Amino acid sequence: MSLLQRVERNRRGGEDMAVTTVVPEKIEQPKRAAPLPSRDKLLTDLRLLIQGEVTKAVDSLLDLEEVKDVRARISGMVDKIVSDHEFAVTRDERQTLVEEVVHEITGFGPIEPYLNDESITEVMVNGPKHIYIERKGKIERVDVVFLNDEHVRRIIDRIIAPLGRHIDETSPRVDARLPDGSRVNAVIEPLSLIGPVITVRKFSHTPYTVNDLIRFGTSSAEMFQFLRACVEARLNIFVSGGTGSGKTTALNVISSFIPEDERIITIEDAAELQLNQEHVVTLEARPPNIEGMGEITIRDLLRNAMHMRPERIIVGECRSGEALDMIQAMTTGHDGSLSTGHANTPRDMLRRLETMILMTGYELPLRAIREQIASAVDLIVHTARLKDGSRKIVNITEVYGIDEDEILTQDIFTFQQTAFTDGKVIGELKPTGIRPTFMGAFRANGVELPPGEFGIPPLDPARPGPRGKGRWSSTQAKGAEAARPKLGLGKAVTAGGMIYISSIGPIDLETGVVVNGGIKEQTRQCLANLKTRLEAEGSSLERVVWANWSLRDATEYEAFNEEWAKAFPGDSPVGQGTVMSQAQRREGFRISIGVIAQA
């Protein structure tokens, strides 16, 4: 028999039920058809065929003047290939293939749509199969791919060829830019082990304005007004921050505050800055050619810029030895210059500048390097990318001097976070309550400040604060900021027939400024001030019976004593040395003197 019967007895509700199940003894299995190729593989094969045909016809396609003519020609090629090979594709798939090839010919292949998307700030190609973008500060992967490594290499060549640059196994990395100014970095084998890598830092087709950055929440209108005043007052500014924190965008906007009638020279590895002023000269560094010759570095361009009569110099980014040349430019009559650098904090920016200068190979003492930096850099504008992906200015820091071989800084404004709501950082850049030492420079340069001066506290004559740099002190001495320093003028007390005078410093009594020079010059000024003060109190140097001197550096005693012996050629008064106070150090004193004299 061909069928089997099986009877199952089940008890349900107290009743016996018979269920008969018919099971075939053997069923003939149908023959399996050969597996169809996956849709993805079919489209990939079609793309490869189209790429081959397009490569043969690329010259004739490039001769076409209009994109619509290119599209029509490619559309015909796609139809022919699909028909000849009997591919079954949908209308949408066909249209996608045509667009991909058009991008290949007229643009930059699979990444072209993302380069045209204004909401995307970064495009990252990690080999042919992994493409990422950054949108609103967040990185995400996209579902497009290159065909193979060679496909990525062709796009790299298309980017760098118009700039006269090259990439190969002997020179496997290159920096370049797109026609819209976006920055491009490419790395190939043997440096990259995952295939060719492309990183595109996009820039807006139209430069961001102050209003754009205010809308983005980068900072407030008031803070940009303050930065405008700093630029017009010719302060030297560094913009610091981490990778992708918005340094170049901030520099571009700050540069827009430079007056139209000034000559500006910009120097960059790859030209990114987009200044709207009329009198701008843009210089771009050049890498070595395939023979390793012909390199023009940023340092070379900076030296050359000195002969081009610049009023402002802007270096896109200091990375190594060019920091020394930039610092030199800032201290040789090119006030108001600007640059950027990678750093996590304003203090780190100063340390990085020290390191960059040491990279030049010159054997400079660290003290000399720090004095140069402290003299050159006036303001550090620090940017950061916060947890929510937003980019903000989080510090505006003044560099106002040097003390004990340490560069002195003070935050004028800091970002204060008040909340984290719905994934957004809420906060504001607020004044710290410290008055910068360069406030007199605004008036000296004819810069009118708004009422309230951005929340910066007014000058307190009883607490004048740090002296700051010489050029600020000289401008302040001419205006309302010129409050006489309380430090270094000495206090005089008469008691028991004796006059007690303390802390006479090396201050020019007419300007209120610490005199320039070393220990000898400052000692002579101290003694001159002491003589004037004693005579005003009815005494003289000849009546001094006891003295106290405070030296900044004990090794300078011999030089001090030479000048002291000139003032007291006979028996000098009994005296002793003490350690100089921190406040006097910050004022730039190398010496101060106190005495007891007969009334």
pLDDT in tens, 58-98: 555 555 455 566 677 777 777 777 777 777 777 777 777 77
11 within domain boundaries: no
The pLDDT score that the predictor gives to residue 462 is: 60
Q: How many other CB atoms are there within 10 angstroms of residue 11's CB atom?
A: 8
471 in a structural domain: no
Q: Residue 347 pLDDT > 90, yes or no?
A: yes
- Confidence band of 35 (pLDDT split at 50, 70, 90): very low
- Whether residue 357 is found in the same domain as residue 223: yes
Instruction: Supply the pLDDT for residue 267.
Output: 92
Report residue 496 as tokens.
Answer: 């028991």
Within a domain: residue 387? yes
The answer to whether residue 494 is domain-embedded is yes
The residue ranges of DSSP E strands in 316-389, in sequence order, are 338-342, 379-385
Q: How confident is the model at residue 498 (pLDDT cuts 50, 70, 90)?
A: very high
Q: Are residues 245 and 315 in the same domain?
A: yes
Q: What pLDDT score was predicted for residue 165?
A: 84
Q: Residue 164: what pLDDT?
A: 80
Pair (436, 495) in one structural domain: no
The yes-or-no verdict on residue 336 having pLDDT over 90 is: yes
Give the residue with greater pLDDT, 51 vs 536: 536
- Report the DSSP beta bridge partners of residue 5: 22
Average pLDDT over residues 283-309: 87
Q: Domain range spanning residue 63?
A: 39-105
pLDDT at 50 over 90: no
The answer to whether residue 93 sits within a structural domain is yes
Q: Which of 363-372, 392-401, 462-471, 582-591 has the lowest mean pLDDT?
A: 462-471
User: Which of these three, 184, 201, 218, is where a domain ends?
Assistant: 201
- The span from the CA of 412 to the CA of 431, in Å, is 6
Confidence of residue 126 (pLDDT cuts 50, 70, 90): very high
- Looking at the structure of the chain, the number of domains it has is 4
Give me the CATH number covering residue 162: 3.30.450.370
Element (H, E) at 174: strand 173-177
Calculate the alpha carbon distances from 341 to 230, 241, 325, 461 in Å. 19, 7, 14, 37
Q: CB neighbours of 115 closer than 8 A, spacing ≥ 6?
A: 107, 108, 123, 178, 182, 200, 202
Grade residue 13 by pLDDT with cuts at 50, 70 and 90: very low
The answer to whether residue 478 sits within a structural domain is no
The 3-class secondary structure across 9-35, one letter per residue, is: EEEECCEEEEEEEEEECCCCCCCCCCC
CATH assignment of the domain containing 585: 3.30.1330.40
Contacts of 132 (CB under 8 A, 6+ apart): 123, 124, 126, 139, 140, 141, 142
pLDDT the model gives residue 15: 44
Q: 291 and 157 in one domain?
A: no
- 172 and 232 part of one domain: no
User: Are both 298 and 374 inside the same structural domain?
Assistant: yes
CB 377 within 8 A of CB 343: no
- Alpha carbon dihedral 435, 436, 438, 441, in 10-degree steps, equals -40
Cβ 474 vs Cβ 510: under 8 Å = no
Q: Do residue 176 and residue 215 come from a single domain? A: no
Phi-psi region of 244 (alpha: psi -120 to 50; beta: other; left: phi over 0): left
Q: Are residues 256 and 173 part of one domain?
A: no
User: 382 and 359 in one domain?
Assistant: yes
pLDDT of residue 257: 95
The answer on 279 and 234 residing in a single domain is yes
Q: Within 10 Å of residue 340's Cβ, how many Cβ atoms?
A: 24
> For all residues of the chain together, what is the average pLDDT?
83
- Strand, coil or helix: 392: strand
Displacement of CA 582 from its chain's centroid (Å): 33
Between 571 and 370, where is the model more confident?
370
Question: In the predicted model, is pLDDT for residue 473 greater than 60?
Answer: no
> 537-586, pLDDT tens digit by residue?
999 999 999 999 999 888 889 999 999 999 988 788 888 888 888 778 77
**How crowded is residue 119: how many other Cβ atoms within 10 Å of its Cβ?**
10
How far is 392 from 217, CA to CA, in rounded Å?
7
Structural tokens at position 395: 């510090």
* DSSP state letter for 308: S
Q: Say yes or no: 96 and 239 in one domain.
A: no
Domain boundary among 179, 201, 223: 201
170 pLDDT band (50/70/90 cuts)?
confident
Rounded CA separation 104/154 (Å): 9
- Kindly state whether residue 60 falls inside one of the protein's structural domains: yes
The CATH code of the domain that includes 302 is 3.40.50.300
Query: Token pair for residue 265?
Result: 């020279």
β 264-268/312-315 pair status:
parallel
The confidence band for 471, taking pLDDT boundaries of 50, 70 and 90, is: low
Question: To the nearest whole percent, how much of the chain has pLDDT over 70?
Answer: 85
Instruction: Quick: pLDDT tens for 513-524.
Output: 788 778 999 999
Q: Residue 4 domain-assigned? A: no
Alpha-carbon distance 568 to 551, whole Å?
18
513 bridge partner residues:
508
- pTM over the 0.75 mark: no
Please tell me the total number of residues recorded for the chain in this structure.
599
Question: Which amino acid does the sequence have at 94?
Answer: R
Output the pLDDT for position 24.
47
Question: Are residues 162 and 47 part of one domain?
Answer: no
Confidence check: pLDDT of 414 > 60: yes
**What digits encode the pLDDT tens for the residues 191-246?**
999 999 999 988 777 778 999 999 988 999 999 999 999 999 999 999 999 988 88
Q: Where a domain ends, among 105, 124, 147? A: 105
